[in-house]
Amino acid sequence: MRLGELIDGSLGPDASDVEVTGMAIDNRRVQPGTLFFCVPGFTRDGHDFAADAVARGAGALVVQRPVQELVPQVQVESVRHAMGPIAARFHGDPTAALNVVGVTGTNGKTTTCFLIRELLEADGVQTALLGTVKSVIGGQEATMERTTPEAIELQGAFARMRDGGDRAAAMEVSSHALELGRVDGIHWAAALFTNLTQDHLDFHPTMEAYFLAKRELFLRDPGVSVINVDDPYGRRLADDDALPGPVVTTAIDDPDADLRAIDLKLELTGTTFTIVDRRDGSTITTSTPMPGRFNVANALGAVAVARALGVDDETIARTLPLAGRVPGRFEAVDEGQPFAVLVDYAHTPDSLDNVLRAARALTKNRVIVTFGAGGDRDRSKRPLMGAAAAAHADELIVTSDNPRSEDPDAIIAEVLSGIDRNDARTEPDRARAIHAAIELARSGDVVVIAGKGHEQGQEFAGGRKVPFDDVAVARDALRSVGGGCYNASPMPRTPDIHG
């Protein structure tokens, strides 16, 4: 494709005719014919690598300031925000051929995307998935490096979806992606807001800035906006006159919501509930294999999107109870033990609070939790996580999450500062902490291992990452403690469930 076909605005004839065969923001990935985007980063500036990109064969550059290289240069106000539209043109505007659903919020994005995909697939719509846990493109699964890829990679993924037979896509949209232009150039069939609670204040200066970043998705003219109005930020968003297009509100508590879940029956093996549409009085009685009120909220949002995209109520009622589990989201680890062990990604105060409340509602015995907080991230949430654990758990073991460049003991001390009890245990070694939590458990208890969920590694100083899987460690601990002698359980055996 010629450069002149990719760029808005006039270019000289020599520049317009430059053939572009690929795009890159990493100079090491440049090949002859590549259009290189000189992105100013947080630690490095792509303009400083322009010479190397040209030496490797870059045919043209997109810059914010001119550089001394003898190749065509397209100067833009923001290289980051130019990437998406240019990449979309390069790939033939792939999202114009897809019903793309963007799901944003602090918690619940992954589960909601999985549910949206299941509902659309049950309706015969081949649907792709992009999110924290994995991607599914053209039916092929792969792991993800970040929740929302960079714009070049993202538009390439959409092209593979289109060419692989996908007709829709459910994707998580992070606040970073919205702020940094990764999702520019996308046509949105629907946008969904789950909730907003404290997180990422190492990136956003305030909660207001965090909210405004999320709000941006709903200003991009989605076909429909689905918003959880039990969340105060969701209510604010739904009442925003600047939002274009139709808005569908969802809730468990708010009686004025368009779609409301009522008659919840919470059990360890899942939740039964009824969805009422206030607009026409229609109802759907269904269930989900995911325990906890917060998972009803996730399911409700997914149902609202599915209905907006044409899925009928009968398909929804039939499909939700069969939804597969999401790795690391309230995931049960079952070795026949007489207590429940649940692994969850909860790594914010609100998500930990929700998970522990759900665990408390599912047992009349003790709740045991082991958790930590990530290093090099928002420090202000650490004592809040400690307070959430202290409020809802009978036994607490504070451990490491991903300490990264920080001292694990210092992180633990900040978590402990929010705990107003003197019985909290500490164990920086995460594997030992998980073993200790399981050794404490007795018949009827619930053990919650929170913070890392699906992650397959633990990050330490110097960029060192070692293999680590909470589920595998928990399974090893159960086998070690039980010695193979677990058999009948007085509690219902927990299937693969998630949050």
pLDDT at 494 over 70: no
Q: What CATH class does 331-482 carry?
A: alpha beta
**What would the pLDDT profile of 189-210 be if each residue is shown by its tens digit?**
999 999 998 776 666 689 899 9
> What does each C-alpha distance from 50 to 25, 42, 142, 147 come to in angstroms?
10, 17, 31, 28
HEC per residue, 75-115: ECCCHHHHHHHHHHHHCCCHHHHCEEEEEECCCCHHHHHHH
Looking at the chain, the domain(s) classified CATH 3.40.1190.10 span 94-322
CATH 3.30.1490.20 is right for the domain spanning 3-77: no
* Percent helix, strand and coil across the chain, each to the nearest 5: 35, 20, 45
Backbone dihedral angles phi then psi of residue 163, each to the nearest 5 degrees: -75, -20
pLDDT at 488 over 60: no
pLDDT at 498 over 60: no
Q: Please compute the mean of the pLDDT values over residues 426-446 and round it to a whole number.
A: 96
| Edge-to-edge strands, sheet with 446-450 | 331-332, 340-344, 446-450, 367-371, 395-398, 425-426
**What would the pLDDT profile of 145-163 be if each residue is shown by its tens digit?**
767 789 999 999 999 999 9
pLDDT confidence of residue 378: 87
Give residues with Cβ within 8 angstroms of 209, minimum separation 6.
Answer: none
- Other beta carbons within 10 Å of 337: 25
Looking at the chain, the domain(s) classified CATH 3.90.190.20 span 331-482
pTM of the model: 0.85
Tell me the residue length of the chain: 499
pLDDT at 96 over 70: yes
> Which residue type occupies 318?
R
pLDDT at 425 over 90: yes
Q: Please compute the mean of the pLDDT values over residues 276-284 and round it to a whole number.
A: 97
pLDDT confidence of residue 54: 97
Structure tokens, 140: 């092929």
**What would the pLDDT profile of 322-360 be if each residue is shown by its tens digit?**
998 788 888 889 999 999 999 999 989 988 998 999 899
pLDDT at 110 over 70: yes
The partner residues of 74 in beta bridges, in order of sequence, read: 62
pLDDT confidence of residue 485: 60
- Topology of the domain covering 94-322: UDP-N-acetylmuramoyl-L-alanine:D-glutamate ligase (3.40.1190)
What is the chain's mean pLDDT, rounded? Answer: 92
pLDDT at 383 over 60: yes
Please tell me the distance from the alpha carbon of residue 242 to that of residue 121, in angstroms, as a whole number. Answer: 33
pLDDT band at residue 493 using 50, 70 and 90 as cut-offs = very low
CA 91 to chain centre: 25
Please check whether residue 260 is in contact with residue 252, taking contact to mean a CB–CB distance below 8 angstroms.
Answer: yes
Looking at residue 423, what DSSP letter applies? -
pLDDT confidence of residue 451: 94
**What would the pLDDT profile of 403-412 be if each residue is shown by its tens digit?**
999 999 999 9
pLDDT at 487 over 50: no
Looking at the chain, the domain(s) classified CATH 3.40.1390.10 span 3-77
The H or E element that residue 277 is part of is strand 270-277
